[in-house]
Structure 1
Amino acid sequence: MPETSAVPATVRVPEPTAVDGRTGQAPAGMVALAAGRFRMGSDRHYPEEGPSRAVHVGPFAIDRYQVTNAQFAAFVSATGYRTVAERPLHAADYPGLPASRLAPGSLVFRPTQGPVNLRDLSQWWEWTPGANWRRPEGPGSGLRGRKQHPVVHIAYEDAETYARWRGHRMPTEAEWEYAARGGLDGAEYTWGDEQLPAGKRLAHWWLGDFPWRSTRPGGVQGPAPVGSYPANDYGLHDAAGNVWEWTSDWYGPTPGGTSTPSCCGPAESRGVAEQDSIDPAQPGTPVPRKVVKGGSWLCADEYCRRYRPAARRPQPVDTGMSHIGFRCAADLE
């Protein structure tokens, strides 16, 4: 793939033309992407994003939008599936955990009363019994008016099970970043190198003073409806900000390796093994981590400037949060 980092954000790169060999078109709601090489990662930002290097991906398709509450509700209605956040915890699996933490629930963002030390995440994350995809802020909340918001409080198992139900799969880290870049190889953002082209925000990240004051109209906090911001040059919406998105790669200290079609089946990501997945900030924790990508509505410039395609972070596979969602991928024959 040619270098396009110098291409202005106002110039659109032609959308790839790969199609599903079985149907002659991309699966419904997806964008089909041709195989290619791109520059993955970054040497200019957080250390876990480097080294920047050339990576090849095979042809695949990926959702235009993050999976919504309405879509996930249809899956649950059809299958009776219960998410990880809705299932009781077993004391034997969590020795030393207080009984109050054994009730089904999830981690919910709670704004602080004022400025705080940004090194201590526990000040704005609260374990909330009863919080799950149906009740994003816990008991008393719901999905009214949020059908087109991205589904959140999704553990990796939940995302993968939904993808299989659709006949799809989770994207690898390399596939996700390739698609998110939209052909702007090496660019800072999914739309180019300028943070605010023409003074406009092209993604949903924190506006105000994190984590205590939102300056959005009405002080609104939380994800935005999918597609609220323009698509990138491959037709993907919200590939930056809104909610973090799961990938199939186990987390290691550097970005995953090549992602190419195997001889006999779906694409394989040649990266870190499950037993080697780590969180450098918590090296002794037993739960393995997958890579999440894209940043979220909680990314703030003074704290987490990760609403960029190269950005990545580790997420325990059993933990959903109020800013974790996903989109699906599919193989093209």
Structure 2
Amino acid sequence: MAWIPTGSFVLGSKEFEDAGPPLELKVPGFWLDVTEVTNAAFAQFVQETAYVTDAEKPTEAPMPGQKGLPPGSFVFVPPPGGPDGKVALDDHWQWWQFVAGACWRNPQGPGSGIDQMESHPVVHISWNDALAYCRWAGKRLPTEAEWERAARGPFAAAVLPWGDELNPGGAWLNNIWQGKFPGENTREDGFAATAPVGSYPPSPWGLHDMSGNVWEWCNDWYAPDTYWRLRARHSFTPTEADSHDPAEPGVPKRVQRGGSFLCSDLYCVRYRLGSRGKGEPVSAAVHVGFRCAK
């Protein structure tokens, strides 16, 4: 783990509607995992505890008379048509498919596996799963403010962990999508999906993959107006009752940070440090993992 010293930084960004207004915030010192939790580490946890992830459990029907979902998770599947196919980028369900049997052991579904991927970040992990691992390891999930403080490092208001330029000198320093999303991935950074943790240079504070690779769960409940309330009250921690997503009213969600290998500089740019993701505590996907704090 790396020690993140007490200090102030600029939380948020004007670039994203739910990440503003930016405000200066002081965070006490804490420890943070240098890398995202790997398949090998999660496998040890499962071996010692017999833990079953949310993706490995069937989902109950939302209403009487309806059918629930079998065990499985969401997998990225490029839509037909290739790089020249017409795709409405505001409809992400064109490239997300629920795949029965997809889970951390079988990232692409039945027939896939994690052999030779021990050092890759574990994926298809829900917030509940991440919390269970943290407790087993004697750690916890970072708060959203802690995560962003660590990611920004000495660059208190930078766009990326190393500064403001995406690939300085032509070098890719994070695992994101290159090419025309979602039909063409040119893999200029060396990877089509997850990369082994530590594949890119560390941040000034010794952290890897704080931008890209996989989204990382934070402890906080998500609300689109969190920063406005924080500025007005000087102290605000959303509760489950505060949590809401305008895209899915009535569905409380937890915060995710850092973006993933599916983020593109020509599309969502969610690999930038001010960006906020979110997901239901039971939800999982092929681009979501976590790291621990202490």
**TM-score of the superposed pair, with normalisation by structure 1:** 0.82
Amino acid at match of 1:201: W
Instruction: Determine the structure 2 residue equivalent to 1:316.
Output: 280
Instruction: Determine the structure 1 residue equivalent to 2:244.
Output: 278
Per the alignment, do residues 175 and 119 of structure 1 end up closer, same or farther by CA in structure 2, a change over 3 Å counting?
same
Instruction: Determine the structure 2 residue equivalent to 1:34.
Output: 5
Q: What is the CA–CA distance in structure 2 between the aligned matches of 1:57 and 1:233, rounded to whole Å?
A: 18
Q: Which moved more, 1:132-141 or 1:188-197?
A: 188-197
Q: What is the CA–CA distance in structure 1 between the aligned matches of 2:192 and 2:259, rounded to whole Å?
A: 15
Structural RMSD (CA): 1.8
Instruction: Determine the structure 2 residue equivalent to 1:15.
Output: none
Q: What is the CA–CA distance in structure 2 between the aligned matches of 1:310 and 1:324, rounded to whole Å?
A: 18
| TM superposition shift of 1:315 | 1.1
Given that residues 72 and 151 in structure 1 are in contact (C-alpha distance below 8 angstroms), is that contact kept between their aligned partners in structure 2? yes
| TM superposition shift of 1:61 | 0.2
Query: Among 199, 204, 207, which residue is 1:236 paired with?
Result: 207
Query: Among 55, 64, 74, which residue is 1:107 paired with?
Result: 74
Q: What is the CA–CA distance in structure 1 between the aligned matches of 2:73 and 2:215, rounded to whole Å?
A: 16
3-state secondary structure, aligned to 1:143? coil
3-state secondary structure, aligned to 2:241? helix
The answer as to 2:79 corresponding to 1:79 is no
Deviations 1:10-29 (A, max 9, x none): xxxxxxxxxxxxxxxxxxxx
| TM superposition shift of 1:302 | 2.5
| TM superposition shift of 1:98 | 5.9
Q: What is the CA–CA distance in structure 2 between the aligned matches of 1:127 and 1:213, rounded to whole Å?
A: 21
Q: What is the CA–CA distance in structure 2 between the aligned matches of 1:326 and 1:248, rounded to whole Å?
A: 11
Runs of 4 or more, structure 1, over 4 Å off, are: 255-258
Amino acid at match of 2:254: K
Given that residues 175 and 191 in structure 2 are in contact (C-alpha distance below 8 angstroms), is that contact kept between their aligned partners in structure 1? no
Query: Among 167, 178, 197, which residue is 1:226 paired with?
Result: 197
| TM superposition shift of 1:220 | 5.4
3-state secondary structure, aligned to 1:275? coil
Instruction: Determine the structure 2 residue equivalent to 1:299.
Output: 263
3-state secondary structure, aligned to 1:122? helix
Q: What is the CA–CA distance in structure 2 between the aligned matches of 1:287 and 1:143, rounded to whole Å?
A: 32
What is the number of residues matched between the two proteins?
A: 284
| TM superposition shift of 1:46 | 1.2
Instruction: Determine the structure 1 residue equivalent to 2:128.
Output: 157
| TM superposition shift of 1:183 | 1.3
Structure 1: any 5+ residue segments left out of the alignment? Answer: 1-29, 259-268
Q: What is the CA–CA distance in structure 1 between the aligned matches of 2:261 and 2:119, rounded to whole Å?
A: 16
Per the alignment, do residues 172 and 304 of structure 1 end up closer, same or farther by CA in structure 2, a change over 3 Å counting?
same
Mapping for residues 130-279 of structure 1, pairs under 5 Å: 130-216=101-187, 221-255=192-226, 270-279=236-245
Amino acid at match of 1:111: P
Q: What is the CA–CA distance in structure 1 between the aligned matches of 2:247 and 2:60, rounded to whole Å?
A: 26
Given that residues 8 and 156 in structure 2 are in contact (C-alpha distance below 8 angstroms), is that contact kept between their aligned partners in structure 1? no
| TM superposition shift of 1:307 | 0.7
Q: What is the CA–CA distance in structure 2 between the aligned matches of 1:80 and 1:188, rounded to whole Å?
A: 40
Given that residues 83 and 154 in structure 1 are in contact (C-alpha distance below 8 angstroms), is that contact kept between their aligned partners in structure 2? yes
Q: What is the CA–CA distance in structure 2 between the aligned matches of 1:137 and 1:109, rounded to whole Å?
A: 8
The answer as to 2:19 corresponding to 1:49 is yes
| TM superposition shift of 1:97 | 8.7
Per the alignment, do residues 199 and 128 of structure 1 end up closer, same or farther by CA in structure 2, a change over 3 Å counting?
same
Amino acid at match of 1:199: G
Q: What is the CA–CA distance in structure 1 between the aligned matches of 2:53 and 2:183, rounded to whole Å?
A: 30
Deviations 1:163-208 (A, max 9, x none): 0000000000000000011210111111101122111111000012
The answer as to 2:100 corresponding to 1:124 is no
Q: Which moved more, 1:309-318 or 1:122-131?
A: 309-318
Given that residues 226 and 236 in structure 2 are in contact (C-alpha distance below 8 angstroms), is that contact kept between their aligned partners in structure 1? no
3-state secondary structure, aligned to 1:209? coil
Given that residues 287 and 317 in structure 1 are in contact (C-alpha distance below 8 angstroms), is that contact kept between their aligned partners in structure 2? no
Amino acid at match of 2:267: Y
Deviations 1:33-60 (A, max 9, x none): 22111111112x1111111101111111
Per the alignment, do residues 239 and 220 of structure 1 end up closer, same or farther by CA in structure 2, a change over 3 Å counting?
closer
Per the alignment, do residues 166 and 193 of structure 1 end up closer, same or farther by CA in structure 2, a change over 3 Å counting?
same
Given that residues 287 and 318 in structure 1 are in contact (C-alpha distance below 8 angstroms), is that contact kept between their aligned partners in structure 2? no
Q: What is the CA–CA distance in structure 2 between the aligned matches of 1:220 and 1:59, rounded to whole Å?
A: 34
3-state secondary structure, aligned to 1:235? coil
Q: What is the CA–CA distance in structure 1 between the aligned matches of 2:154 and 2:18, rounded to whole Å?
A: 22
Q: Which moved more, 1:150-159 or 1:272-281?
A: 272-281
Amino acid at match of 2:257: K
